[in-house]
Amino acid sequence: MSFQKVGFGIIGTGAVAAAHAMAITNSDFATLKAVFDVVPERAQEFAAKYNTVAAGSFEEFLAISGLEAVTVATPSGFHHDPVVAAARAGKHILCEKPLDITLEKIDDMISTCEKCNVLLAAIFQSRFKKAVVAIRKAIDEGRFGKLVSVSAKQLWYRDESYYKSASWRGTWAVDGGGALMNQGSHTVDLLLYLGGEVKKVCGHTANFVHDIEVEDSAFVRMDYVNGASGSLEVSTACNPGFPVTIEITGTRGSAVLKQDTLERWVFAEEKPEDEVIRKEFASGTSRSGGASAAMDFDYHGHMEHVDNLARAIRNGEALILSGRDGRLAVEFIQAVYESSRTGLPVTLR
């Protein structure tokens, strides 16, 4: 049976929109109907590049024939309004990370989508890395035993020109924070995906080198609901930038993932496929994953999200990452900010 492709539109045609466009145009389940941006010239240039149309207004965009779903690629603090408007227009939604910068806005987005009977999916494409999939499978199978520690380091670098490239970058009002909210949200999601929900956090934020009003570094210690502990270090001040490292240790096994490379994959009870996994992930890609360049990643993770939402619309497939799932990362980040402001631990569960 042939699949009737879902018509997608893109809201916002800044840097990350290219990944959305490539994901949609290369998907077997989606087709790009239109784009919209508050800067018409940028939208027209983007539309020409991806062989689609640029709507002259947001109202015109939502009325495009065949438009069933939208991807929201605006700056973080500008997610709420287009999501709510699209939901009220009956469009399903795939929203960039973070869902928004406050829990109040996110809760309104979730409730509006539920009331309007449309799907709200969140983007955290790092979940689709093959090595992450292998780690999660081993966790689900109990191969790590009781989890002891799930921790991560994301010591990246952004020069001053990055923050000067757009007026919203590095601001509380639109970026919602600094290294933790913007760059670190992907790693926060991976920690929650692999370690489970967090019970308590104790955090400290600082600004070492950048002329911005938010943090360029954050340091966190957390306790998971399942009894494990962990730590997180996130920065955009560590020149020249280093691969994200995630460590999972348990009573029966441990793994260390550095970007796309598994540097450790050891279990008390070995399986024949373990050697295959070690060989498959012995070396990663040449991409930095964003360590020193903001857009140094491909679109395939975004395409997994697009495909999932399209199949959910047509066939009722479960969302890989719902709005409520995406909310957890912002809840964690806001708790770290509160802990840093007060100097006290914050209990979430």
Domain boundaries, position 218: 127-292+330-347
Question: Are residues 199 and 258 located together in one domain of the fold?
Answer: yes
Which residues touch 348 (CB under 8 Å, ≥6 apart)? 197, 198, 199, 200, 201, 331, 332, 335
Flag whether 1 is in a domain. Answer: no
Question: Are residues 198 and 309 located together in one domain of the fold?
Answer: no
CATH number for position 151: 3.30.360.10
The number of angstroms, rounded, from the C-alpha of 131 to the middle of its chain's C-alpha atoms is: 17
Question: Are residues 235 and 136 located together in one domain of the fold?
Answer: yes
Quick one: which H or E segment has residue 238?
none
Question: Are residues 89 and 109 located together in one domain of the fold?
Answer: yes
Question: Are residues 141 and 118 located together in one domain of the fold?
Answer: no
Report the C-alpha dihedral over residues 16, 19, 23, 26, rounded to 10 degrees.
140
Flag whether 72 is in a domain. Answer: yes
HSE of 41 in the Cβ direction (CA atoms, 13 Å)?
Answer: 0
Question: Are residues 41 and 176 located together in one domain of the fold?
Answer: no
Residue type, 288: S
Question: Are residues 216 and 310 located together in one domain of the fold?
Answer: no
> For position 283, what pLDDT does the model report?
82
- Report the domain count for the chain: 2
Beta strands in 158-313 (DSSP E): 198-206, 217-224, 229-235, 245-250, 253-258, 261-267
Residue of 245, 247, 249 whose CA lies nearest to 267:
249
CATH number for position 44: 3.40.50.720
Per-residue tens of pLDDT for the chain, all 349 residues: 689 999 999 999 999 999 999 999 999 999 999 999 999 999 999 999 999 999 999 999 999 999 999 999 999 999 999 999 999 999 999 999 999 999 999 999 999 999 999 999 999 999 999 999 999 999 999 999 999 999 999 999 999 999 999 999 999 999 999 999 999 999 999 999 999 999 999 999 999 999 999 999 999 999 999 999 999 999 999 999 999 999 999 999 999 999 999 999 999 999 999 999 999 999 865 555 566 565 566 899 999 999 999 999 999 999 999 999 999 999 999 999 999 999 999 999 9
Question: Are residues 30 and 115 located together in one domain of the fold?
Answer: yes
Quick one: which H or E segment has residue 120?
strand 120-122
Beta-strand pair 245-250/147-155? antiparallel
> For position 298, what pLDDT does the model report?
85
Distance (Å, rounded) from C-alpha 123 to C-alpha 71?
10
Residue of 164, 193, 231, 25 whose CA lies nearest to 97:
193
| DSSP secondary structure letter of residue 146 | S
Question: Are residues 266 and 151 located together in one domain of the fold?
Answer: yes
Flag whether 265 is in a domain. Answer: yes
Question: Are residues 148 and 275 located together in one domain of the fold?
Answer: yes
Flag whether 317 is in a domain. Answer: yes
Question: Are residues 255 and 312 located together in one domain of the fold?
Answer: no
Question: Are residues 29 and 105 located together in one domain of the fold?
Answer: yes
